[in-house]
Amino acid sequence: MSRNLTAWLYVTPLMLVLVPFFLLPILVVLAASVFETDGFGGLTPTVTLANYIDLLTSAQTLQLYTATLKFTVLTWFFTVIIGFFVAYFLVFHIRSQLLAISLFLICTVPFWTSNIIRMISWIPLLGKEGLINTGLLKVGVIDQPIEALLFSSLAVVIAYVHQLTIFMVVPIFNSMARIDKRVVEAAIDAGASRFDVMRLIIIPMSKNGIALGSIFVVSIVMGDFFVVKVMSGGGSASVVSAFYENVGVLQYPIAAASAVLLTIVLVAIISLILRVVDIRREITQ
């Protein structure tokens, strides 16, 4: 058998899932975005750009994207800072292998549990009568509970950072573990300061991990509506939560157009990140 044929035989099952459950749905959404609706969930296959024109001229779109980008940037910033230093600590400061592996596992275990549960677990802490408010009241820092802790933009960002820092820790850890420790020692022997080592060796050599983690974090935050909906208490909206409302009232074409726009924005951001890193080499290495 030829090499190509064998390889394709092996990827056929994968393609049998990806084509009907990724490629076709994307094409369907693309098609629906230029169709007209009869208002009851049915679609008329008349090609129109009205959905896009509505979407691009509405002030709400700009508002939603500003809100979503704000959450994305804030979450990205905190996850990359925390993720970087946690990974750095594990790779360069823990001397025992077994301890490093155990600590790494401790960081990864929550990834395998339910996101929703991890999100609602902030309620007893951030709520009006939650631990943080009660604590602050007792100490006397405040004399009225801060209501803005839960059901606010702050709570949304906290929930995102809580869920997504792991997506930074793991790829950055992988990149850092590949740095040859002798390079760092050579730099120190040659008189580099701790700051120089960080700036000239560690950061450039872990940039692939940072990029990979950023792709995960950005695409998850921009594609999420769940955390925004629950943690903001309905106060903030995001691109996807507006999309979901449209689906709820059977406005498929406008929802589809908004989905296509979001995908274009997302692809643009990811290709920007990909200019920094060769993702395929990073993953398969």
94-113 residues in contact with other proteins (CB under 8 A) are: 94-95, 97, 100-101, 103-113
Count of residues near other proteins by CB under 8 A: 106
Comparison of 25 and 204: residue with beta carbon closer to other proteins: 25
Residue 36 CB, nearest distance to other proteins (Å)? 15
Of 266, 258, 249, residue with least CA distance to 214: 266
147-186 residues in contact with other proteins (CB under 8 A) are: 162, 165-167, 170-171, 173-174, 177, 181, 184-185
Residue 60 CB, nearest distance to other proteins (Å)? 18
d(CA 203, CA 150): 35
DSSP-assigned states of every residue in 110-137: GGGS-HHHHHHTTHHHHSTTSHHHHHHH
Of 63, 121, 148, 264, the one binding other proteins (CB under 8 A) is 121
Residue 156 CB, nearest distance to other proteins (Å)? 14
- Return the amino acid letter for 260: V
- Mask of contacts with other proteins, 199-238, x by CB under 8 A? ----------------xx--x--xxxxx---x--------
Comparison of 156 and 166: residue with beta carbon closer to other proteins: 166
48-67 residues in contact with other proteins (CB under 8 A) are: none
List of long-range contacts for 224-231, beta carbons under 8 Å, 24+ apart: 224/160, 226/115, 226/116, 226/119, 227/119, 227/156, 227/159, 227/160, 227/163, 228/71, 228/156, 230/119, 230/120, 231/119, 231/122, 231/150, 231/151, 231/152, 231/155, 231/156, 231/158, 231/159
Given the rule CB under 8 A, which of 49-57, 62-70, 71-79, 254-262 is the region that contacts other proteins?
254-262
Residue 93 within binding range of other proteins, rule CB under 8 A = yes
